[in-house]
A and B are shown apart, each in its own frame.
Chain A
Amino acid sequence: MEQLINMVLLTLLALITFGIIRVRNLFAVVVLTSAYSFLMASVMMVLDAVDVAMTEASVGAGISTVLALGALYLTKTEEAEPRYSPLLPAVVAGTTGAVLIFGTLDLPPFGSADTPLNTHVGADYLARNMAETDIPNVVTSVLASYRGFDTLGETTVVFTAGIGVLMLLKRWRKAERRED
């Protein structure tokens, strides 16, 4: 049952992706991307990644939709007719996909517990967590404590990207007066 729900959601995800490729009106594309993010959040729920699902639902479907609409308001909403034939990119993408799918055939089956990934570091965190931090949500304790450096770096990246956007878009008052 779990697998069936997972597969249905993934199929819907794949269908929406075709819409994102085909549709030329960018407003429609942004709305499709928002629906895509919600479906992705549902898939993440099925994959037992509740923290990630919550983040994807609020970030992907919420904030990034607002930002993309804001950018569309400031630019243009219609994509131009393609000038070059999409044949070459399609062949490149198709070949890459075929090679990658060939690679997946050797991967361990979905949902198995005895893979290397699930028996080393992750299991170690699960085993040590309660004695060392007493925080039931392992994702929080790994995020903030065991891998605190990582999170500090990510927070700094968010901060830096915010500074970058401010430098590009914010109208500083002094500069405005000089222009007048």
Chain B
Amino acid sequence: MRLDTILRIVAKIFIPFILMFGLYVQLHGDFGPGGGFQAGVIVAAGIILYGIIYGINAAQRAVPPGLVEAMMPLGVAIFAGVGIAGFFTGRNYLDYSNLMHGDMVHGQHWGVFLVEIGVLVTVSSTMLAIFYAFAGRGRE
């Protein structure tokens, strides 16, 4: 891939926009199409593109595999933790209505926001970990 100048330059220009678009899809998911699942996949796709063009080692320097593996359970923990927070506000598991001191709509907003972040963290890191696993295997 050393000589593919066009690919390298174009990728370098595009990747920040892909990551930005991922964040937009994540944060705008309440008002338009999008949400944690899509954003997670888009963010992972941006980093996978970097890995394909610049090599797996460069990608692993930018996003270390240890970090990725730590993020996989972290997202599930965020999701389940928001559910448990429902208990402490006197509601059922994963009921966000009381999160903001009885303001139901506000509580739902916060609950959905946090849960979507949990989904983003798990999905993006899992996709990336799977890519690292396949790319790091090498031909025997």
Contact of A62 among B33, B41, B123 (CB under 8 A): B41
Within 8 A of A (CB), among B14-53: 25, 29-38, 41-42, 44-45, 48, 52
Contacts of B2 in A (CB 8 A): none
Within 8 A of A (CB), among B58-82: 69, 72-73, 75-76, 79-80
- Complex contact B111–A169 (CB within 8 A): no
A171 to B76, CA, bound (A): 25
Contacts of A66 in B (CB 8 A): 48, 52, 131
Interface of B is mostly: helix
Question: By the criterion of a CB under 8 Å from any partner CB, how many residues of chain B are at the interface?
Answer: 53
Nearest CB of A to B60, in Å = 12
**Is A159's CB within 8 Å of the partner chain B?**
yes
- Complex contact B41–A70 (CB within 8 A): no
Interface of A is mostly: helix
Residue ranges of A at the interface with B (Cβ–Cβ < 8 Å): 50-51, 53-55, 58-59, 62-63, 66-67, 70-71, 73-74, 132-137, 139-141, 143-145, 148-149, 151-152, 155-156, 158-159, 161-163, 165-166, 168-171
Residue ranges of B at the interface with A (Cβ–Cβ < 8 Å): 25, 29-38, 41-42, 44-45, 48, 52, 69, 72-73, 75-76, 79-80, 83, 93-94, 96, 104-105, 108-109, 111-112, 115-116, 118-119, 122-123, 125-127, 129-137, 139
* 15 new A-B contacts at CB < 8 Å, known A137-B32, A140-B116: A51-B34, A54-B38, A58-B45, A63-B41, A132-B108, A136-B31, A137-B31, A137-B35, A144-B119, A145-B96, A149-B94, A155-B75, A155-B122, A159-B72, A166-B129
